[in-house]
Amino acid sequence: MLPELSRDEILRYSRHLLIPEVGLEGQRKLKNSSALIIGTGGLGSPVALYLAAAGIGRIGLVDYDTVDSSNLQRQVIHGTSTVGKLKVESARDKLLDLNPGIQVDVYNEPYTSENALRIAKDYDIILDGTDNFPTRYLTNDVAVFLGKPNVYASIYRFDGQVSVFYAKEGPCYRCLFPEPPPPGLVPSCAEGGVLGVLPGTIGTLQATEALKVLLGIGEPLIGKLLLYNALDMSFDFVKLKKNPNCRVCGPNADIKELIDYEAFCGVPSHDHEEGSAGANWDITAPELAERVKTNHLKLVDVREPHELEISKLPDAKNIPLGQLAARLSELDSAEEMVVFCKGGTRSARALELLVSAGFKKVKNLKGGINAWAKEVDQNLPIY
């Protein structure tokens, strides 16, 4: 039995009620439905805003982060006034302001194998707005095990992908990507970054697919993957088939319960200690500031050249991480050396590379140039 709409709700949703594909019954279906959104970041922002505006009766939000000003370039559900607040609370307040007639449940915790089934089991649909492989595989497997549709999206710089993975009716994420890239084959973090509007474009497509699935209208992207490129303004579609050898949704599936996804992907899914190469290899920004007063130290900046326009340390030699392996001859292994990047992650990889190439007198600036800007030279910007 679908819930009735109040007089206020009929007015609020009148533009939906005027579309025959939605109509009064469709709007009552939406009121009766629930959606779980994993992540309230770039993708989660437009997804949550539009699903709330559309009148989804109950929305769940999972995130454990707090709002940072560097989020606001794309995470439009948050605002300057909510910097420092929990993301799920910042998002809930915005959603209830937009539509006080819905219920918003928040889960201020990382989405993990321990809590995911419990959190997801009472929702009709799951929307994947995660930013890392372990949580993506977890989100997929939870949806497969609970028999729920998983509206998938991911973004990178100018590229976006959208699909509806629904193992009952089509392939799952693992049918397309049976395993993540191995940890040894990782991209440089210098490759990061995203055009702020991109998650807006992709997230609204994700919300569109969720509404279609919940209303039972149109042709959802089940068995289809949408590939978007903002620079080319291209939309391409490819067909996805169920993989008969899929380990979670195939006929001979051998994964029957949630696994350790960090181990499976070989990477952590949640924030750990900030950019560190390990206690023996790190030097903190204040320690480095002391050392450079008395010792000659070679500073090697492994960031990309365009990042030097934001901040730089005097006398540092710039060799982007991607070029380091080919440019080792420019460095003297007898010299004491400190490698650094933005936050200490790329430089930890650089250190690993240098050490494996025989360099011994090398340290990693823990927390990168941002730590230096925070703790030593407040005139430098943090980015």
Partner 1 sequence: MPVLRIPTPLRAYTNGQSEVNVNGSNISDALTDLTIQYPALKPHLFNEGGDLRPFVNLFVGENNIKDLQGVQTPIRDGEKIMLIPSIAGGRHCEGEARSNIPFCYEIASSPIPAPRNDGV
Residues 52-81, interacting with partner 1 (CB under 8 A):
65-66, 68-71
Shortest separation between residue 186's beta carbon and partner 1, angstroms = 5
Q: What gap in Å lies between CA 215 and CA 293, rounded to an integer?
A: 67
189 included as an active-site residue: yes
Q: What is the dihedral of CA 263, 266, 272, 277, to 10 degrees?
A: 130
Nearer to partner 1, 55 or 171 (CB): 171
Residues numbered 6 to 35 that lie near partner 1 (CB under 8 A) are none
Residue pair 35/29 in contact (Cβ under 8 Å)? The answer is: no
Which of the following is catalytic: 175, 189, 249, 265? 189
The Cα diameter of the chain in Å comes to 79
Q: How many whole angstroms separate alpha carbon 32 and alpha carbon 45?
A: 22
Can 265 be counted among the known catalytic residues? no
With contact defined as beta carbons under 8 Å apart, do 363 and 335 qualify? no
Query: Is 101 or 322 the residue whose CB approaches partner 1 more closely?
Result: 322
Q: Among 21, 25, 114, 191, which residue sits at the site for partner 1 (rule: CB under 8 A)?
A: 191
Identified binder of partner 1 from the candidate list 8, 109, 115, 241, rule CB under 8 A: 241
> If binding is defined by CB under 8 A, does position 345 make contact with partner 1?
yes
d(CA 312, CA 41): 29
Helices (H), the chain: 7-12, 14-17, 23-31, 44-54, 87-98, 116-120, 133-146, 173-176, 198-215, 261-265, 285-294, 321-324, 345-356, 368-375
Closest separation between CB of residue 311 and partner 1, Å?
12
Q: Which of 58, 157, 291, 361 binds partner 1 (CB under 8 A)?
A: 157
* Complex with partner 1: residue 346 or 363, whichever CB lies closer: 346
Applying CB under 8 A, the span of 36-44, 99-107, 143-151, 286-294 interacting with partner 1 comes to 36-44
Q: How far apart are CA 51 and CA 134, in angstroms?
A: 25
Interface with partner 1 (CB under 8 A), residue from 32, 132, 284, 318: 132
Catalytic residues: 189, 341
